[in-house]
């Protein structure tokens, strides 16, 4: 095990983390502002990936695909918000969970209907293929570095959006007291649609970027959705900063756990047993992390210390 | 006699009636479908105890369903190979007797319920939903990556486990077993709902702070309900594994949690027999729509969406009106 291998895994962890962040940021915004738990967020991720794969195959350009993923996911988000979510804001979480679960069924099967059950593949663009040397003598793919960069850029952009723009002021006000800002003349309905579209576009972006690393298939969104939930629980609901730090924690813990734990167990057990035990425990590492955070901070690292009624 | 009671009787008598008529007409597949309804309904009754009475929206009940299933798979596979499950600190040998397996399933799912409940109940509301979901995924990935019991491939149970005096391989006999377990669970649910414990639990759902202020330890109350709920769902999982004679990590997947929740909500949250009605409608839709289109889940999704948006209180709410005790 060399230093460059560890660095490479660490970078993989960060890349995984920023990708989860793109999902978690949208989820946490939607929950923070509208009080809505949206299971169908994973479907928006899937829609982004499929749109990008289809458009990239049609035009031959990865970047057109990327643009299409943003547009398609945002459009799907707006549609879902206007048709379904709007009726759910005043309902309890149970109704929201069930309705968005129903949306997952519709989106997943609908996508299967249109694109078939076989996975699509999205090629990494020529410009971003190849690798760069990293300290310690290893090589690291440029494309993955790009994902990290885009994730960080989105993080900064969201921070700026929320803390330094009028829309951000309204979003924060909406989190605190939606009736009051409604009374002050802000069109809350438009605000909700905007927030939902932003979250959806980020999910679509994540789907499109990951689509070039993994295969694009039905059901790809749900595992990421659940990771985003873990992140939100760790970071605290409604907090972009919490989502960012939580995502990096989860991404690095998961990747490093899968890499290091089998090695670690090899010190004590025979190789086959060590791999089995190591990978089994590594697959639970992030949930254990979540449990530990919960024990000490039940409302997450950056969550407001208020009890939900 | 009010409509809710009538509907209860209709479901409670209708299910064995369907199975009985199917037996006479020699339609074993329909008997198996009725058994499926009874078992999935049982899982729903379990969740309904936490969700309906306690307002604990658990999105991770597949964990207990799967643990029950794996109790069957593990014990039966050891019984087949004549190897002990564990030898330390005490020896547990495999078994192919349903009551013995049920006991193991109950203990295992109670322990899991205690652990998950104790951690998850530190939070509430939407956090609780996400955390139970996350624990469910944790169990799922563990089952996939742990190779000792089949890993991703799951375990086949070559001979359905036995029950004294019955031949469980005969579909109707197995239906009788499943239906009797369901009846016991329904009885337990209806007793719990009107017991002081159940009333206090119901009150925590409506106003936690008030219940706390009269000096009731709500954490222990909710944890007890959660464990009880886990046990019933675990038992359903054990029966389900025996029904399919197969157990795999897919029993632990989050869609199962979602489906169990659908049974409860489609039927009507908090109503005793509602999960059975929900499960029956689900199984019928699955069979019917599955025959119409390969993409039947789209229609299932649309129906569900319509129920949530327009028929509050589920099917029970539509047929029997508002629940008396469910405010």
pLDDT tens for B148-169 read 788 888 888 888 888 888 888 8
pLDDT > 90 in chain B, percent: 57
- Higher-scoring residue by pLDDT: A176, B276: B276
Subunit contact A294:B300, Cβ cutoff 8 A: no
Domain total in chain A: 1
Subunit contact A284:B133, Cβ cutoff 8 A: no
Residue A69 lies in a domain: yes
pLDDT average, residue stretch B87-116 = 87
The average confidence (pLDDT) of chain B is: 89
- For residue range B275-326, list pLDDT tens digits in order: 999 999 999 998 998 888 888 889 889 988 988 888 778 888 888 877 655 4
Subunit contact B125:A284, Cβ cutoff 8 A: no
Looking at residue B49, what DSSP letter applies? I
Q: Where are the domains of chain B?
A: 3-320
Looking at residue B108, what DSSP letter applies? H
**In chain A, what residues touch B133 (CB-CB under 8 Å)?**
226, 229
Residue A17 lies in a domain: yes
B307 to A40, A43, A85, B15, B113: CA distances (angstroms):
17, 21, 14, 23, 30
Subunit contact A295:B302, Cβ cutoff 8 A: no
**CA pair distance A75, A139, nearest whole angstrom:** 38
Subunit contact A98:B304, Cβ cutoff 8 A: yes
Residue A65 lies in a domain: yes
List the single residue in A95, A237, A294 with the smallest CB-CB distance to B122: A294
Subunit contact B137:A287, Cβ cutoff 8 A: yes
Subunit contact A95:B308, Cβ cutoff 8 A: yes
Shortest CA distance from A112: residue in chain B:
B295
Interchain contact B240–A (C-beta under 8 A): no
List the single residue in B148, B295, B308 with the smallest CB-CB distance to A112: B295
- Of A83, A291, A70, nearest in space to B122 by CA: A291
- For residue range A234-256, list pLDDT tens digits in order: 998 878 889 999 999 999 999 99
List the single residue in B57, B141, B305 with the smallest CB-CB distance to A102: B305
Q: Does ipTM surpass 0.90 in this model?
A: no
**In chain A, what residues touch B138 (CB-CB under 8 Å)?**
283-284, 287
Subunit contact A98:B261, Cβ cutoff 8 A: yes
CA distance B53 to chain A (A): 14
Residue A262 lies in a domain: no
List the single residue in A84, A98, A232 with the smallest CB-CB distance to B130: A232
User: H or E segment at B31?
Assistant: helix B28-48
Per-residue pLDDT at B111 exceeds 50:
yes
Host domain of residue A206: 10-218
Residues 6+ apart with CB under 8 A from A114: none
**CA pair distance A84, B159, nearest whole angstrom:** 47
């Amino acid at each position: 095990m060399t230093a460059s291998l560890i660095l490479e895994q660490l970078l993989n962890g960060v890349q995984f983390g920023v990708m989860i962040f793109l999902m978690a940021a949208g989820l946490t915004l939607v929950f923070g502002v509208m009080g809505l738990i949206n299971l169908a967020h994973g479907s928006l991720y899937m829609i982004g990936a499929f749109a990008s794969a289809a458009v990239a195959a049609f035009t031959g350009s990865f970047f057109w695909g990327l643009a299409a993923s943003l547009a398609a996911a945002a459009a799907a988000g707006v549609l879902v918000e206007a048709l379904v979510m709007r009726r759910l804001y005043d309902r309890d979480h149970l109704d929201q969970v069930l309705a968005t679960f129903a949306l997952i069924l519709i989106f997943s099967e609908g996508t299967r209907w249109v694109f078939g059950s076989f996975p699509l593949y999205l090629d990494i663009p020529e410009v971003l293929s190849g690798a760069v040397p990293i300290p310690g003598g290893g090589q690291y793919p440029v494309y993955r570095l790009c994902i990290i960069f885009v994730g960080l850029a989105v993080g900064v952009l969201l921070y700026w959006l929320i803390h330094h723009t009028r829309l951000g002021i309204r979003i924060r006000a909406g989190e605190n007291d939606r009736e009051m800002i409604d009374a002050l003349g802000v069109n809350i309905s438009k605000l909700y649609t905007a927030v939902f579209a932003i979250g959806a576009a980020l999910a679509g972006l994540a789907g499109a970027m990951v689509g070039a690393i993994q295969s694009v298939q039905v059901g790809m969104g749900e595992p990421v959705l659940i990771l985003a939930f873990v992140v939100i629980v760790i970071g605290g609901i409604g907090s972009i900063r919490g989502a960012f730090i939580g995502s990096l924690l989860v991404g690095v813990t998961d990747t490093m756990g899968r890499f290091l734990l089998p090695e670690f167990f090899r010190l004590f057990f025979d190789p086959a047993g060590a791999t089995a035990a190591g990978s089994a425990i590594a697959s639970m590492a992030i949930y254990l992390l979540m449990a530990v955070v919960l024990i000490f901070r039940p409302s997450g690292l950056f969550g407001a210390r208020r009890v939900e009624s | 006699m009010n409509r809710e009671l009538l509907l209860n009787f209709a479901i409670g008598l209708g299910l064995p009636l369907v199975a009985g008529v199917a037996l006479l007409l020699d339609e074993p597949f329909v008997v198996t479908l009725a058994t499926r309804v009874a078992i999935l309904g049982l899982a729903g009754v379990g969740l309904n105890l936490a969700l309906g009475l306690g307002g604990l929206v658990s999105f991770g009940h597949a964990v207990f369903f799967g643990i029950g299933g794996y109790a069957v798979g593990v014990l039966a596979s050891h019984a087949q190979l004549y190897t002990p499950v564990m030898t330390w600190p005490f020896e547990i040998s495999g078994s192919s007797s349903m009551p013995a397996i049920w006991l193991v399933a109950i203990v295992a799912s109670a322990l899991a319920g205690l652990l998950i409940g104790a951690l998850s109940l530190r939070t509430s509301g939407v956090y609780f939903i996400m955390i139970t979901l996350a624990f469910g995924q944790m169990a799922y990935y563990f089952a996939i990556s742990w190779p000792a019991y089949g890993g991703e491939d799951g375990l086949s149970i070559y001979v359905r486990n036995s029950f004294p005096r019955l031949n469980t391989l005969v579909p109707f006999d197995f239906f009788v077993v499943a239906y009797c377990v369901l009846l016991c669970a329904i009885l337990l649910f209806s007793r719990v709902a009107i017991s002081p414990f159940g009333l206090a639990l119901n009150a925590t759902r409506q106003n936690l702070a008030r219940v706390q202020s009269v000096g009731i330890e709500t954490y222990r109350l909710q944890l007890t309900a959660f464990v009880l709920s886990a046990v019933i769902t675990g038992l359903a999982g054990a029966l389900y594994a025996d029904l399919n004679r197969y157990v795999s990590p897919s029993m632990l997947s989050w869609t199962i949690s979602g489906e169990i929740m659908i049974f409860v909500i489609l039927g009507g949250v908090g109503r005793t027999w509602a999960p059975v009605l929900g499960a029956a409608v689900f199984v019928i839709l699955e069979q019917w729509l599955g025959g119409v289109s390969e993409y039947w889940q789209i229609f299932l999704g649309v129906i569900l969406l319509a129920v949530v948006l327009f028929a509050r209180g589920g099917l029970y709410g539509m047929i029997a009106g508002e629940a008396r005790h469910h405010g």
